[in-house]
Structure 1
Amino acid sequence: MAAKIIDGKTIAQQVRSEVAEKVKARVAAGFRAPGLAVVLVGSNPASQIYVGSKRKACEEVGFVSRSYDLPETTSEAELLELIDTLNADSAIDGILVQLPLPAGIDNVKVLERISPDKDVDGFHPYNVGRLCQRAPRLRPCTPRGIVTLL
């Protein structure tokens, strides 16, 4: 079988265009645009680039994007309090906490604190369990993107 080159940039742009059209139609019908909260703790350069690309993608498709760039010194309690606030915010549909987190912050505790309904990465134990049962309520973005490419 001959190898086939996958043009990921073109496919990504097509997906973004389709999402942008759906968002426009949603807003035109009187509904609000979807909202994504992205939380970055610390100044990991790779994480900053990734989070920047999420902000740009949200802007391109018409999502409401809220960024929370927190200092490396942020405590676990402060981060959990922010997640509680975002969980209760009806304008936020998805929460993405960028990993890795600084030393002293328990990744598991943080990921478990995100509401399963707002868990963009699908890392909450509830969502992982549903996925393992082949009955996901949501499909994690990265694997879904890979399937789209293939």
Structure 2
Amino acid sequence: MVEMIDGRKVAKEVNAATKAKVEELAKKGVTPGLAVILVGDNQASQRYVHMKEKKAVELGINSIMKTFPADVSEATLIDTIKSLNNDSAVNGILVQAPLPAHIDEQKVIETIKPEKDVDGFHPINVGNLFLNLDKKYPVACTPKGIMTLLEKYNVNLDGAKVVIVGRSSIVGKPMLALMLNANATVTDVHSHTKNLKDYTRDADVVVSAVGKSNMLTDGDFKPGAYVIDVGQNLDENGKLVGDVNYNPETSKIGYITPVPGGVGPMTIATLMQQTVEMCEWSL
């Protein structure tokens, strides 16, 4: 029977450590600050931002919300980011995606100062990650949270065969870099890969970040594999499901992250953890 990788449990541990750091900083008169910018009325984005704000307040992090209508001008958004860049009370800036079509998302990302880019999407931070530089810089929160999960479950990545399904800038590419930096043997497969499932069936660890339900099934993994399901999809009944369809009673998968309760809680916990780390770095 497959064993669940409990993201909620590990996230709780990460949050406890983050709260302890916040309390230590408070003794020095310092409060970490996280600014989140939300554009438009996308309900999924609104829910996600609300969860972030709630967790920040719970941990003692100063949460700064900036909300704009969908027709906000790119110039207004850029000016807001520049103002937050210059605000010493703000340690991390996050612009919730997706943005309306008339706004250049890459331009927005590059406007955020690298040292305040809590999402780790700025080209300078991406470059630091791929070069595996020995310095302090933010990393994309979902992949960083996945690495924490694997560490907590004592997964030895040194030399392991790892397959990443998907090549987005949010998960796939930073995940590739983190796995390479951990000395794993990594393959990234995507929509142009031929015989994609031949790769997943040979992997010790599979990270699926496609956003397509039933993309992979029980037979697409080798027995005992670790499967990290990043998918956040709604099925025909409106239920949240991942990319992987499996039977927990009969599956030969070794370990898997459930959806919900796997990667999702780790992403938010890592966002809070990284905000506090960036506050410490700024001191």
| 1:68 paired residue number | 66
| Alignment gaps of 5+ in structure 2 | 151-283
Q: Is 1:6 matched with 2:1? A: no
1:55 Cα deviation after fit: 0.3
Question: 2:73 and 2:83 mapped to 1: Cα distance?
Answer: 16
Partners of 2:138 and 2:101 lie apart in 1 by 30
1:139 Cα offset (Å): 2.4
- Once the two structures are TM-superposed, the CA of residue 124 in structure 1 deviates from its matched residue by 0.7
1:58-83 CA-partner distances (Å, limit 9, x unpaired):
01111000011111111000000000
Corresponding position of 1:107: 105
Higher strand share: 2
Amino acid at match of 2:3: K
* Structure 2 residue aligned with 1:16: 15
Work out whether residues 16 and 60 of structure 1, in 8 Å CA contact, stay in contact via their aligned partners in 2.
no
User: Secondary structure at the residue paired with 2:3?
Assistant: coil
**1:106-132 C-alpha deviation (Å, 9 max, x unpaired):** 001100000000001111111111111
Larger Rg belongs to: 2
Instruction: After TM superposition, give the deviation of residue 138 of structure 1 in Å.
Output: 2.3
* Preserved contact between residue 74 and residue 104 of structure 2 (Cα < 8 Å): yes
How many Å separate the matches in 1 of 2:51 and 2:107? 26
Measured in 1, the distance between the counterparts of 2:120 and 2:21 equals 23
Separation in structure 2 between the aligned mates of residue 31 and residue 102 of structure 1, nearest angstrom? 39
Aligned to 1:138: 138
Alignment match, 1:78: 76
CA shift, 1:26, in A, is: 1.2
Contact 2:126 2:139 in 1 (8 A): no
**For residue 93 of structure 1, what is the aligned residue in structure 2?**
91
CA distance in 2 between partners of 1:43 and 1:13 (Å)? 30
Structure 1 residues 86-95 or 122-131, which shifts more? 122-131
Identical residues among aligned pairs (%): 49
CA contact (8 A) 2:121 2:139 kept: no
Distance 1:108 1:38 in 2: 17
> Does the Cα contact within 8 Å between 2:37 and 2:95 map onto a contact in 1?
yes
Question: Deviation at 1:8?
Answer: 1.1
> Is the 1:36–1:94 contact (alpha carbons within 8 Å) kept by the matching residues of 2?
yes
Provide, for residues 37-64 of structure 1, a one-character-per-residue CA deviation record: whole Å limited to 9, x for no partner: 0000001111111111110110111100
Report the alpha carbon displacement of residue 32 of structure 1 after superposing the two structures with TM: 1.2
Alignment size in residue pairs: 148
Give the AA of the match of 2:121: F
TM-score of the superposition, structure 1-length normalised? 0.94
| Larger helix fraction of residues | 1
Alignment-derived partner of residue 149 in structure 1: 149
* CA distances 1:83-105 after superposition (whole Å, capped 9, x unpaired): 00000000000000001101100
The root-mean-square deviation of aligned C-alpha atoms, in Å, is 1.2
Is this contact kept in 1: 2:33–2:61, CA < 8 A? Answer: yes
Residue 33 of structure 1 corresponds to which residue in structure 2? 31
Query: For residues 60 and 10 of structure 1, what CA distance do their matches in structure 2 show?
Result: 17
When normalised by structure 2's length, the TM-score is 0.51
